[in-house]
Amino acid sequence: DAKTTQPTSMDCAEGRAANLPCNHSTISGNEYVYWYRQIHSQGPQYIIHGLKNNETNEMASLIITEDRKSSTLILPHATLRDTAVYYCIVRAYTGFQKLVFGTGTRLLVSP
């Protein structure tokens, strides 16, 4: 019951910006967009989340369109260690909601 659509895979050159898109056209007004990543053989790692304003932290930036139907996770200077599966998840912030993972985007960062 994932509510997002992401490309299966993407490539990025080391040092360049990685822009990972996510479509969430059925997002509700009380749902946030969360991004996680899973590096091979490790547990998922929280990256960032947002409601409608753009967000930035030490790991990445999140750009959400004005209609909130899509978003882009930006890794400004991708490194080889950013190679991972990236999951875009929508989840209501109020009340208890499960975090439902989809199939994600496999990002390969190459030298």
Partner 1 sequence: DTAVSQTPKYLVTQMGNDKSIKCEQNLGHDTMYWYKQDSKKFLKIMFSYNNKELIINETVPNRFSPKSPDKAHLNLHINSLELGDSAVYFCASSHHRNTGELFFGEGSRLTVL
- Between 25 and 64, how does the x/- string for binding to partner 1 read (CB under 8 A)? -------x-x---x--xxxxxx--x---------------
Shortest separation between residue 17's beta carbon and partner 1, angstroms: 24
Q: Looking at beta carbons only, is 46 or 54 nearer to partner 1?
A: 46
Q: With binding defined as CB under 8 A, does residue 103 bind partner 1?
A: yes
Phi, psi of 77 (to 5 degrees): -140, 85
Shortest separation between residue 88's beta carbon and partner 1, angstroms: 12
Please tell me the chain's helix, strand, coil percentages from 3-state DSSP, rounded to the nearest 5.
5, 50, 50
How far apart, in whole angstroms, are the C-alpha atoms of residue 79 and residue 110? 8
- Between 65 and 94, how does the x/- string for binding to partner 1 read (CB under 8 A)? --------------------x---x-x-xx
State in Å, rounded, how far the first CA of the chain is from the last one: 36
Shortest separation between residue 55's beta carbon and partner 1, angstroms: 13
The dihedral over CA atoms of 95, 96, 100, 106, expressed in degrees to the nearest 10, equals 70
Tokens of 46: 């929280």
Do residues 85 and 106 make contact, with C-beta atoms less than 8 angstroms apart?
yes
Q: With binding defined as CB under 8 A, does residue 96 bind partner 1?
A: yes
Tell me which residues touch partner 1 (CB under 8 A). 32, 34, 38, 41-46, 49, 85, 89, 91, 93-101, 103
